[in-house]
Structures are given as C-alpha cells and as structure tokens.
Amino acid sequence: MMHSRAQAAATLIVRQLGRRDYLPVLHAMQNFTLQRKPDSVDEIWLVEHPPVFTQGLNGKDHHILDAGNIPVVPVGRGGQVTYHGPGQLVAYLLLDLQRLGLGVRGVVTRIEQAIIDLLGDYAIEAHGRRDAPGVYVVDKKIAALGLRIKKGCCYHGLSFNIDMDLEPFSRINPCGYPDLAVTQLAELGIAEPMEKIAAQLVDQLNQQLGYTELLNEPADKIIFDAR
C-alpha cells in the first residue's frame, strides 16, 4: 500500500510476530531501518522470544553472572544486559523520530508513560527512573527499555514481563544493576492473556505517539534472515 508523506506520518502499522528466535527479528529490524524512506510508515512488532540474554552497547561482561545454557547476544541498542523469554511481551518500535518531532528522551518518556498508564488501568502504581530507563513497581522492574537511533529513526524497543519464569534474571545484573529485583503482571495478581495486554499496550503507545490511523498487518511481509 502506497502512502503520501502526510498519510505515512499519521499511520502506525502493528504486526503480530508470534514466538520467534531473536537474531532473525533483529536482522529484520536492521534491514527495515536501513531501507526505510521519508514516506515509510512507522511500525510496531509484537513478539515473544525463546530464552536469550541480550547485551547492549554499554554492556560489561561482569554483569552476566552465570548465563548457563541461555545464549548471550551482543546487540547495538543502548543499555546493558537483559533477558527475554516466553511469557514476556516484546514490542519493537520502528519509528521515524524526526518526523514525530521527538528526541531520545522524549520517546523514552512516552514509551514509559504508555506502560505506566496501562498498569494504572489495573490500579497498579508504577513509575520511571531517569537514571535507569524502564518502568518500576515500587522498587521492582517490570519493563525494560533500549533503543538504537539511526538516521533519525529508532528500532529495538521494550520488554514487558507478563507471566514468565523470572529465574534467568537472577543470572545477570539486570540492566547493569546488581540485586535489581524484577516483577511481572502475574505476581501482581493480573491474569490476562498476552493478546489482551498487547492490544492495551498498542493503544497506550498510540495515545502517547499520536497516530490517527492504526493498521493491523500480517508478519508475512517481513523477511526473517538468521544469517
């Protein structure tokens, strides 16, 4: 579907990727960002990953305490080490920040606020931290954030703990913070299906970013290359 620049600026495409290995999705994000043009529509990709640790540009090896049999993948996003696994909702944000008129801090604040507002709908009080991007319930982290900016566009995104095995977080210093506790919706008494939470998250992100047209498109247009 062709869009004018004005239409592209107002439109957000959402793709449900299901459960996919990390590296093919990473490469697809990189290719999307490399090939996008001024009239390319922004997209959000929703996915679950099999167990994997990802280590950001600032990552230090000593923050990986005992990876065991879980692979560690160096990646080009900001931040330190985090964990992805089944039961965690990952949202990759492929956005033209120049077109949105947002800097890094602006988009990070809006992403955090989307999650905070979603949790607020369940009467859960949450907050962000300027020194450690992400969303926290009391002193426990429930969502992590990491972006890469290239030519005014971002990729990577957020991970939101829904109902997962949290044990692998004990094998790392999450986001580079020793003894940082993590939590998830299931621990907070919220037992909603992933699909419902994903739809609520997209709605909140849309409110924060201000698109006027939301399109749900299949994932079959994406080329997943494991390399």
Q: What is the CA radius of gyration of the chain?
A: 17
Amino acid letter, residue 91: A
- In our burial notation (b when 16+ CB lie closer than 10 A, e otherwise), range 143-177 reads bbbbbbbeeebbbbbbbbbbbbebebbebbbbbbe
Alpha-helix residue ranges (DSSP H) falling in the chain = 5-10, 22-35, 97-100, 104-121, 194-209
Cβ(41)–Cβ(8) below 8 Å: yes
Provide the 8-state DSSP code for 41.
P
> Would you name the residues annotated as active-site residues?
175
- Angle (deg, nearest 10), helices 104-121 and 194-209: 130
